[in-house]
Amino acid sequence: MWRCFCRSKIHRAKVTETNLNYEGSLTLDPLLMEAAGLLPFERVSVLNLHSGARFDTYIIEGQRGSGTVCVNGAAARLVQPGDLLIILAYAWVEEREMSRFRPKVVHVDEANRVQEVVESSVLPRAEEG
Protein backbone atom coordinates (compact mmCIF):
# COMPACT_ATOMS: atom_id res chain seq x y z
CA MET A 1 0.00 0.00 0.00
CA TRP A 2 1.10 3.56 -0.73
CA ARG A 3 0.40 6.50 1.60
CA CYS A 4 0.62 10.22 0.89
CA PHE A 5 2.70 12.23 3.39
CA CYS A 6 3.91 15.76 3.81
CA ARG A 7 7.48 15.44 2.52
CA SER A 8 8.67 18.92 3.40
CA LYS A 9 7.33 22.10 4.89
CA ILE A 10 8.62 25.67 5.00
CA HIS A 11 7.00 27.10 8.13
CA ARG A 12 5.98 30.77 8.45
CA ALA A 13 7.72 32.15 5.37
CA LYS A 14 6.94 35.85 4.91
CA VAL A 15 5.58 37.04 1.55
CA THR A 16 8.10 39.57 0.23
CA GLU A 17 6.16 40.57 -2.88
CA THR A 18 3.37 39.67 -5.29
CA ASN A 19 3.24 39.91 -9.07
CA LEU A 20 -0.24 39.60 -10.57
CA ASN A 21 1.03 39.93 -14.15
CA TYR A 22 3.41 36.98 -14.04
CA GLU A 23 2.13 33.80 -15.69
CA GLY A 24 1.87 32.00 -12.36
CA SER A 25 3.94 30.25 -9.70
CA LEU A 26 5.74 30.83 -6.41
CA THR A 27 9.22 32.37 -6.60
CA LEU A 28 11.47 31.18 -3.76
CA ASP A 29 15.04 31.86 -2.70
CA PRO A 30 17.03 28.74 -3.76
CA LEU A 31 18.38 28.47 -0.20
CA LEU A 32 14.83 27.81 1.02
CA MET A 33 14.27 25.33 -1.80
CA GLU A 34 17.44 23.41 -0.97
CA ALA A 35 16.68 23.29 2.76
CA ALA A 36 13.23 21.83 2.01
CA GLY A 37 14.41 19.59 -0.83
CA LEU A 38 12.25 21.37 -3.42
CA LEU A 39 13.01 21.52 -7.14
CA PRO A 40 12.01 24.06 -9.80
CA PHE A 41 8.52 23.38 -11.18
CA GLU A 42 7.65 21.07 -8.28
CA ARG A 43 4.02 21.28 -7.15
CA VAL A 44 3.39 22.72 -3.69
CA SER A 45 0.42 23.66 -1.55
CA VAL A 46 0.48 27.13 -0.03
CA LEU A 47 -1.46 28.02 3.13
CA ASN A 48 -1.86 31.67 4.12
CA LEU A 49 -1.85 32.02 7.92
CA HIS A 50 -3.33 35.54 7.72
CA SER A 51 -6.33 34.92 5.44
CA GLY A 52 -6.80 31.16 5.57
CA ALA A 53 -6.48 30.97 1.77
CA ARG A 54 -5.05 27.73 0.36
CA PHE A 55 -3.83 27.11 -3.18
CA ASP A 56 -1.58 24.85 -5.21
CA THR A 57 1.10 26.11 -7.55
CA TYR A 58 4.66 25.30 -8.59
CA ILE A 59 8.07 26.61 -7.57
CA ILE A 60 10.48 28.74 -9.57
CA GLU A 61 13.88 29.92 -8.41
CA GLY A 62 14.48 33.47 -7.29
CA GLN A 63 17.77 35.12 -6.41
CA ARG A 64 20.00 33.10 -4.07
CA GLY A 65 20.25 34.61 -0.60
CA SER A 66 17.49 37.16 -1.23
CA GLY A 67 14.85 35.66 1.07
CA THR A 68 12.37 36.00 -1.79
CA VAL A 69 8.90 34.55 -1.34
CA CYS A 70 6.91 36.03 -4.22
CA VAL A 71 3.42 34.85 -5.14
CA ASN A 72 2.76 35.29 -8.85
CA GLY A 73 -0.22 35.22 -11.20
CA ALA A 74 -3.80 34.75 -10.05
CA ALA A 75 -2.69 33.51 -6.61
CA ALA A 76 -1.23 36.97 -5.97
CA ARG A 77 -4.82 38.02 -5.18
CA LEU A 78 -4.81 35.59 -2.22
CA VAL A 79 -1.87 37.11 -0.32
CA GLN A 80 -0.36 40.42 0.70
CA PRO A 81 3.30 41.26 1.32
CA GLY A 82 4.00 40.48 4.97
CA ASP A 83 1.54 37.54 5.16
CA LEU A 84 2.96 34.37 6.67
CA LEU A 85 2.76 31.18 4.61
CA ILE A 86 3.19 27.48 5.11
CA ILE A 87 4.56 25.86 1.95
CA LEU A 88 4.01 22.09 1.71
CA ALA A 89 5.28 19.40 -0.65
CA TYR A 90 3.90 15.86 -0.58
CA ALA A 91 5.19 12.42 -1.53
CA TRP A 92 3.70 9.00 -2.01
CA VAL A 93 5.57 6.50 0.19
CA GLU A 94 5.29 2.75 0.02
CA GLU A 95 4.66 1.21 3.45
CA ARG A 96 7.89 -0.80 3.37
CA GLU A 97 9.82 2.48 2.85
CA MET A 98 8.17 4.34 5.75
CA SER A 99 10.90 3.44 8.26
CA ARG A 100 13.44 5.37 6.13
CA PHE A 101 11.17 8.26 5.17
CA ARG A 102 12.11 11.51 6.98
CA PRO A 103 9.89 14.56 6.37
CA LYS A 104 11.61 17.94 6.78
CA VAL A 105 10.29 21.06 8.47
CA VAL A 106 12.23 24.24 7.64
CA HIS A 107 11.95 27.04 10.18
CA VAL A 108 12.81 30.53 8.97
CA ASP A 109 13.30 33.92 10.60
CA GLU A 110 11.51 37.17 9.73
CA ALA A 111 13.81 37.65 6.70
CA ASN A 112 13.13 34.10 5.38
CA ARG A 113 16.61 32.90 6.34
CA VAL A 114 16.80 29.22 7.30
CA GLN A 115 17.13 28.90 11.07
CA GLU A 116 16.59 25.17 11.54
CA VAL A 117 15.71 22.06 9.56
CA VAL A 118 14.02 19.33 11.59
CA GLU A 119 13.64 15.81 10.24
CA SER A 120 11.11 13.44 11.79
CA SER A 121 9.90 9.90 11.43
CA VAL A 122 6.35 9.11 10.30
CA LEU A 123 6.31 5.99 12.47
CA PRO A 124 5.70 5.90 16.22
CA ARG A 125 9.04 5.48 18.04
CA ALA A 126 8.23 1.87 18.97
CA GLU A 127 7.89 0.97 15.25
CA GLU A 128 11.06 2.69 14.01
CA GLY A 129 13.91 0.53 12.96
Instruction: Report which residue type is found at 78.
Output: L
d(CA 112, CA 67): 5
Tell me if residue 58 is catalytic: yes
Query: Beta strand pairing status for 104-108 and 2-14?
Result: parallel
Q: Among 91, 75, 102, 82, which Cα is nearest to 39's?
A: 91
The Cα–Cα gap between 77 and 18 comes to 8
Strands 2-14 and 17-19: unpaired
Whether 25 sits among the annotated catalytic residues: the reply is: yes
User: Which one of the listed residues 58, 66, 90, 121 is annotated catalytic?
Assistant: 58
According to DSSP, residue 31 is labeled H
The residues assigned a catalytic role are 25, 58
